[in-house]
Amino acid sequence: MKIVLKTLILLLIWSCSDKQSSKIKESAIKIDTISYAYHGFNHHRKLELLSNKEFIRFESVASCFGDARIEKHFGKYEITDSILTLNPQKVELTVYSSFPEEKDIKDTLEYGTDSLKINTSFQIFEWKNKEYLLSEKYDSLRSYDFRNDYQKFAYYYNIGEEPDDSGIYLTRTKKDTTINIVWNINKIPKKYQKDFLKEPISVKIIDRKKKVEKDEYEPESEIVSWRIKINKGTDDGIKKGLHFTTKDDEFFIDIDSTQNKVSFGKCYIYNMEEQFFRIGTEMRTKWEK
């Protein structure tokens, strides 16, 4: 009788152990995630896709003075034909103030407030061993960059930073380093394909104008910037937003105005030495590394 009782107890323990093990495995499956992220200066964004079809989107924006805003969106997601669709349901909002007299804000809200809305539709684009989440909609209202993900992706592609370094859009690098998916421009929506250069563009500086302003932080000092004119325009494929650098990478401009035969840009670094951008200096969208 004792033997039978012991046997039953052991069976019960094993059964409970199996159930607990099964629950642990099930729990582990549920918390498996695929993570996409972007990390910039005082601005971080992360999207986690859980295996149970739920998502967590984290975004933080901070200032150098101690202010910070953190948003966590929760909801469901679905993937169909390389399109990721988020269905947000809840938002956790945290706001820290640098002013002692102001209280920090911590709140949980139902999704729907305009100021807390996020991009909910992304194309999953693959290149080499990276995945990109690209959206046609502009980023949040807190961003001063009014280009969408495709336009920002094109910018970093054209200057040769991609795929090693990415811009302000969500990406992930696959663990399997043997994956090497070839570049396919046809996977990019047609209206953005022209933004990706087939070959680097080479131009020369044909004129430059100096602009001298008072330094608002040091009224006794002056700051100098330069307006640059290059020898190619829209007839040569030049468009607003293209980025050009010198071979030594000491000087650069972003094109902000175009004509048929010439274009104009400005360097946003003040007090540059003139030797780096003399008339006749060659600049390119990308130099061979």
Domain count, the chain: 2
Q: 252 lies in a domain?
A: yes
Same domain, 223 and 256: yes
Res 13 pLDDT > 50: no
Q: Give me the domain span that covers residue 208.
A: 202-284
Is residue 170 helix, strand or coil?
Answer: strand
146, 234: one domain:
no
Evaluate whether residue 15 is within a structural domain. Answer: no
* pLDDT for residue 104 is more than 90: no
Shared domain for 130 and 209, answered yes or no, is no
Query: Strand 170-173 relative to strand 121-127: parallel, antiparallel, unpaired?
Result: unpaired
Query: For residues 92 and 77, is the Cβ–Cβ distance under 8 A?
Result: no
Q: Quick one: average pLDDT of 31-40? A: 88
Please tell me the predicted confidence (pLDDT) of residue 124: 97
Q: Which two tokens stand for residue 46?
A: 């992360």
Burial of 279 (0-12, 13-18, 19+ CB in 10 A): exposed
Q: Which among 165, 174, 195, 175 is positioned nearest to 40, based on CA atoms?
A: 165
Structural domain includes residue 47 = yes
pLDDT tens for residues 39-66?
888 889 999 999 999 999 999 988 888 8
* Confidence (pLDDT) at 31: 60
pLDDT, mean over the chain: 86
> Is residue 29 predicted with pLDDT exceeding 90?
no
Reply yes or no on whether the pLDDT at 2 is more than 80.
Answer: no
Question: Residue 239 is part of a domain; what is its CATH number?
Answer: 2.40.33
Same domain, 212 and 125: no
Q: What is residue 32's predicted lDDT score, i.e. its pLDDT?
A: 81
Answer yes or no: is 8 within a domain: no
| pLDDT of the residue at 139 | 66
User: Considering 173, 193, 213, which residue would you say is the last residue of a domain?
Assistant: 193
pLDDT above 80 for 26: no
173-180 average pLDDT score: 88
The per-residue pLDDT for range 202-254, each reduced to its tens digit, is 999 999 998 888 877 787 888 888 899 999 999 999 999 999 999 999 999 99
Q: Return the ∠ at Cα 263 (arms to 258 and 266), rounded to 5°.
A: 105
Phi, psi of 174 (to 5 degrees): -70, 145
Look at 110 and 221; give whichever has higher pLDDT.
110
The pLDDT of residue 11? 38
**Do 278 and 207 fall into the same domain?**
yes
Whether residue 185 sits in one domain with residue 87: yes
Between CA 53 and CA 76 the distance in angstroms is: 6
Residue 3 lies in a domain: no
- Residue 10, in any domain of the structure: no
Average pLDDT over residues 255-266: 96
Tell whether 101 and 186 lie within a shared domain.
Answer: yes
Asked if residue 151 and residue 65 are part of one domain, the reply reads yes
pLDDT of 269 reads 78
State the pLDDT confidence band at 186, using cuts at 50, 70 and 90: very high
Q: Which of 10-19, 104-113, 265-274 has the highest mean pLDDT?
A: 104-113
- The highest-confidence range among 6-10, 102-106, 283-287, by mean pLDDT, is 283-287
End residue of a domain, out of 193, 213, 245:
193
pLDDT value of residue 223: 85
Place of tokens 């046997």: 7
Residues 261-288: what's their mean pLDDT?
90
Query: Do both 244 and 160 map to the same domain?
Result: no
Q: Are residues 120 and 187 in the same domain?
A: yes
E-strand ranges in the chain read 33-40, 43-50, 54-62, 68-80, 83-96, 105-110, 121-127, 130-134, 170-173, 202-214, 222-230, 243-245, 252-258, 263-266, 282-284
Residues 240 and 162 in one domain: no
Share of the chain above pLDDT 90, in %: 60
Handedness of CA 117, 76, 192, 37 (dihedral sign): positive
Same structural domain for residues 220 and 246? yes
Would the pLDDT of 149 be above 90? Answer: yes
Q: Which residue, 163, 193, 223, sits at the end of a domain? A: 193
Mean pLDDT of 268-286: 88
Give the DSSP letter string of 107-153.
EEEETT-GGG----EEEEEEEBTEEEEE-SS---TT-S----HHHHH
257 part of a folded domain? yes
Q: Look at residue 86 in the predicted model and tell me its pLDDT.
A: 97
Q: What integer is the mean pLDDT of 85-106?
A: 89
Residue 21: other Cβ atoms inside 10 A: 10
SS3 84: strand
Most confident of 4-8, 140-144, 165-169, 201-205: 201-205
Residue 22 lies in a domain: no
